[in-house]
Chains A and B, each alone.
Chain A
Amino acid sequence: MNIGLKSLEVRHPASAPTSPSAIDKLDLQIKAGEHLAVIGPSGAGKTTLLQALAVGLRPSSGQISVGNQDPWSLNSSLLKQLRSTIFYAPQIPPLPPRQRVITALSSAKLAELSFIDSLVNLVLPKFTQQAYEALCAFDLGEKLWLRVDRLSGGERQRVGLAKALMSSARLWLIDEPLSALDPKRSQQAIEALVSEADQRGVTLVATLHQVAVARQMFPRIVGLRDGTLQFDLAREQVSDETLKSLYADFEHELEEREPIVGDQDLNYSVSKAVIACR
């Protein structure tokens, strides 16, 4: 899905009128099927950018086009249709604790279901196979019928990512997909995500704290700081100096560290489930 931003400016609805915009004069073109990582220190506006792309925040000025149309000029039914082609995964996955994993995953299908079908699906799940395969990609196959509140933080985050595989969206916007995962899990999760996006030809925009992962997995990297574009480079052109200046005064975020809040289940081995569905 093609995306075009032209001197985009986004403010948070709750912010004071005097405070600087979260996104300021941003120009960015993304071609359909491209994979792009957005990096930058905390408070750079990464999440705000994703929300604007997800048509979840209205820009205060500038132009945005998603899939070659201006979302804010569409009527409500066309807007709904456009939104159903976009999948946005917030950093903290919005999963109701008392919902079962199968239901949480099939909620990614709601836009394609009639209201009656979606009610029936609560009682007679119809996406069992697809949900199981999506979970397997993140090594969670055995959690299919569990309730979300039985999962660890890292497992919830991976269920949130598995939702992307369930949706038939053409644009995936993934906010900090690895924030609750340990390095090994991170690698597995990002590989699953990127290779699925590749196979489906989906446009993928992910914000990342792990600069190394961004350089390894994404051909194009955008640096954001204080809401403005610092650089927009192919992976090979991103030098250590570029990164240093992007993270000036935030050097501690550039260092590779073990996540403080991580998956507790470190004694994993590749489970039988993965072997079964590959």
Chain B
Amino acid sequence: MSNKSVPGSIDSGGNKQGTFLEGEQSRPHEHNSGSSGRDVEAFRNTYKDDKVVHREKASDWGKVHNDNDYVDYDSSGDSGK
């Protein structure tokens, strides 16, 4: 959830510290409709010394399904639809 983020920064040693909003895409998969593609979504990854100590879906950012030939903005977040 958005109230659980610590402003992220990169320290003098180049290590991530705090929370970073990071986009990721799933591995390609097929649905029961026969359509296939990848989900693209955001995660809040919280780092200590470059190591993820907490990770959660950024549900307020929603998700996008990239269905091979087209992009279906099927999500609920602020950035969806």
A and B associate: no
User: Which A residues lie at the B interface, using CB under 8 A?
Assistant: none
User: Which B residues lie at the A interface, using CB under 8 A?
Assistant: none
